[in-house]
Homo-oligomer: A and B are copies of this chain.
């Protein structure tokens, strides 16, 4: 398999973690979002939306796109270890938790949004940083409000094994670190993130361990 991703892309991170958890080998080609490589015609032929990730399977079929759809595909075609619970209600909870980041948190802070705020709406750097911190923290607080009180929460978001909810939560916490959010108000999130990062599949996938990553993140 061939993954088109980027070291700091949190959507690419999700796919990398899932591939690692499933024990699947892949080769990653970096698409530098900060340099605009996603807009090159060669990449748009793979993903016309000009976003990462795109995953090329070995079957010669069209690229898979949208990280959550890729996670579901990997879970259906490589069921072990499972990334979703077996019961429908559990699956609904895990998918909904995943979407707190994948739909409501992360899409607000990607490069194309930061560029539009700066170039089109002339929002200054302080305003852009408030935006990034506000929406990143809102999603983390939404996680906390569910995870802290619900009986399904275990060592991970749902029981004692990682699911797609943990994969998305981990990405959201990396976003919180990128944007210097105050994470002191989300202790359950922090606890689960720490559990995730003990797993080699998560650790090996993390942004700063990818080729092309700097030693530290600046916005």
Q: Is residue A68 contacting chain B, with contact meaning CB distance below 8 A?
A: yes
Nearest Cβ in chain B — how far from A89, in angstroms? 6
Chain A, interface size: which category?
35 or more
Residues of chain B contacted by A69 (CB below 8 angstroms): 91-93, 95-96, 98-99
A214 on interface, CB distance cutoff 8 Å: no
How many angstroms from the CA of A49 to the CA of B48 in the assembled complex? 32
Specify which of B62, B92, B98, B116 is in contact with A134 (CB 8 Å cutoff): B116
A213 to B157 CA separation, bound complex (whole angstroms): 38
Smallest CB–CB gap between A141 and chain B, Å? 9
For residue A151, which residue of chain B has the nearest CB?
A: B62
A48 near B145: Cβ-Cβ < 8 Å: yes
Given the interface pairs A61-B89, A116-B131, A116-B134, the reply to whether A100 lies near B48 with Cβ below 8 Å is: no
Instruction: Say yes or no: is A167 at the interface (Cβ < 8 Å to chain B).
Output: no
Tell whether A56 is near chain B: CB-to-CB under 8 Å. no
Docked-complex contact A104 and B134, CB < 8 angstroms: no
Could you tell me the distance in whole angstroms from the C-beta of A97 to the nearest C-beta in chain B? Answer: 8
Cβ contacts A54-92/B at 8 Å (1 or 0 each): 000000011011101110110011000000000011011
Can you identify 10 A-B contacts, CB atoms within 8 angstroms? A64-B96, A68-B99, A69-B93, A99-B102, A99-B103, A102-B103, A103-B106, A116-B131, A117-B121, A120-B131
Given A73-B88, A121-B121, 8 more pairs with CB closer than 8 A: A48-B146, A66-B96, A72-B91, A76-B91, A107-B108, A120-B127, A121-B123, A123-B123
